[in-house]
Amino acid sequence: MANQAGSKPGPRPHTWKTGPDPVVHAQYNAFIQQRNQARFRGETWTDEYTFEQWRELWREHWNDRGRANNQYCLTRRDYNQPWTQDNSQVITRFEHALRSGALGGRRRKEEWDKKHAEV
């Protein structure tokens, strides 16, 4: 497909909804992806849960997110409740695996729930 007259291939930050900052643009794309994946899985993502709120939760750990055990992910505190600012938390992937019972089954999940009940 040919470019329109005067347009160049590649990023066009002047057209980004979030403005020209590439970090904010990457965060917005991650927010949209997470919201869409949650909806695809049938999880409720409330319209009141905004990009600004989501970004605030990630503020301290944005550069430490990833798939390794010591990196961070965003999860719901209560899986039976919808995605909201109050029901979301950033924790390590290892903590998430413990909490979900992926490492050691039900006993570890129960230990996690008991230990973090007051949170």
pLDDT in the model for residue 19: 63
Report, as an integer, the average pLDDT of 78-82. 92
Dihedral sign, Cα of residue 16, residue 21, residue 26, residue 28 = negative
Domain range for 91 is 21-115
Cβ proximity of 65 and 72 under 8 Å: yes
14 within a domain of the structure (yes/no)? no
Considering the domain boundaries, does residue 99 fall inside one?
Answer: yes
Window from 23-27, 56-60, 96-100 with minimum mean pLDDT: 96-100
Can you tell me the distance from the alpha carbon of 9 to that of 2, in angstroms, rounded to the nearest whole number?
10
Work out the average pLDDT over 43-49: 94
Number of domains in the chain: 1
Would 50 be classed as within a structural domain? yes
CA-to-CA distance for 85 and 53, rounded, in angstroms?
6
pTM, entire model: 0.71
Residue 75 maps to a domain? yes
| Residue range 52-78: mean pLDDT, rounded | 94
User: pLDDT value at position 41?
Assistant: 93
In a domain, 74, yes or no: yes
Residue 79 lies in a domain: yes
- Asked if residue 96 belongs to a domain, the reply is yes
